[in-house]
Amino acid sequence: MRLHPLTSLAAAGSTAVITTAAASWPVSLTVIAAAVGLSFAQGAARRMLPAAAVILVPLVLSLLALHGLFFPEGTTVLAQWGPARVTAQGLQFALERAAQLSAAVLVLLLGSFTVSVPDLVAVLSTRGVNARFAFVLASTLTLLPAISSRLERIRQAQEARGLVIRPGIPGRVAAFRWQAVPLLLSLVEEAGTRAAALQARGFGSAGPITSYRQVLDSPVQRWARVVLLLAALAAIVFRLWQPTAGA
């Protein structure tokens, strides 16, 4: 069964909050493993893992550099260059932080890569959300697919005129410099013509709007969302109450 988009977002959000609040590395590692496993099960791994790498690699490296080298409380010194000391405690702290951060990022990415954008747009735009906001939301959420299909069209036009692009991701990345400017200009230009079409079809005008798309929901899912949100709140409260818990 397909999850209601709000359920999957609530699940991702509260898991991220709870892992951060728990600040315990077994929890973090479990969440990381679960997020990666689910991304494979959902067929989103090929798109999600590169995105995760782009976000996490620099963050983790800077954590290691910062805490691994400069950790005043560290006692077990492993190596020392002037003021910079690598201590076991510092390394451990950095690794724990990295695991915590990775868990939160992965689970949020999993949520956004597996949520059905059309469903989400349909749900939000009929939930009494203001029509203008629904307009902005729908255009923002569909921006990425729109850009990627526009990019594909330009690339094909250029290939048809002799631009040789090697197959695979590296080839496409190398050829991107040819598409960057046309892509930008065409997006700007298209935005103008698109706006006329959308307005004439009543998009963004005042008054109630309805949705043709039917998004399945169930009492179980509604309850699950409430529980998830409460759990996240509880985790935050618990954390504030007991600032040193788990650390």
Partner 1 sequence: MVQTPPPALAAGIEKFVFPGETEPVLAGISLTLVPGSLTAVLGGSGSGKSTLGRLLAGWLLPGDGGTLTGFFELAGTTVRFTGTAADPQIDPGRWGRQVGFVPQDPAGALSTVRVTVAEELAFGLENAGVDRASMAGAVRDTAALTGLAHLLDRDPATLSGGQLRRLAIGCAVIQRPAVLVMDEPFASLDTDGAEVLAALVRNLAQDGTAVVIMSQRAEPFLHTADTWLVLTGGTVAATGTPAEIVAAGALEMAGVIRPRPLTVARPRAGVDYQSAVNGPTALELRDVSFTYRRTRRRGWFKSQPGPPADPVLHGLSLTLDAGEILAVTGPNASGKSTLLRHLNGLLQPTAGSVLVQGRNIGGHPAGQVSRDVGLLFQQPRDQLFERTVEREVRFGLGRDGLAADQAVQRALAAVGLDHLAGRHPAELPASQQRLLALATVLARRPSVLALDEPTVSLDGPGLDRLDRVVRSTTADGNAVVLVTHDLDYARSIAHRLVCLEAGRLRGI
Residues that bind partner 1 (CB under 8 A): 43-44, 47, 112-118, 121, 138-139, 142, 144-146, 148-149, 153-154, 156-167, 182, 185-186, 189, 193-194, 196-205, 207-214
Query: Toward partner 1, which CB reaches closer, 16 or 138?
Result: 138
Query: Toward partner 1, which CB reaches closer, 10 or 232?
Result: 10
Minimum distance between the CB of residue 54 and partner 1, rounded to whole angstroms? 14
Query: Toward partner 1, which CB reaches closer, 84 or 152?
Result: 152
Backbone angles phi, psi at 143, to 5 degrees: -65, -45
Tokens at residue 188, please? 């700007």
* Cβ-proximal residues to 190 (8 Å cutoff; 6+ apart), any chain: 150
Tell me which long-range contacts 148-156 makes (C-beta under 8 A, separation of at least 24).
150/183, 150/186, 150/187, 150/190, 151/179, 151/183, 154/179, 154/182, 154/183, 154/186, 155/179
Separation CA 183–CA 166 (nearest Å)? 20
Minimum distance between the CB of residue 53 and partner 1, rounded to whole angstroms? 16
Minimum distance between the CB of residue 156 and partner 1, rounded to whole angstroms? 6
Query: Toward partner 1, which CB reaches closer, 93 or 113?
Result: 113
CB of 23 within 8 A of CB of 246?
Answer: yes
Minimum distance between the CB of residue 245 and partner 1, rounded to whole angstroms? 35
Query: Toward partner 1, which CB reaches closer, 204 or 246?
Result: 204
CB of 208 within 8 A of CB of 130?
Answer: no
Minimum distance between the CB of residue 9 and partner 1, rounded to whole angstroms? 12
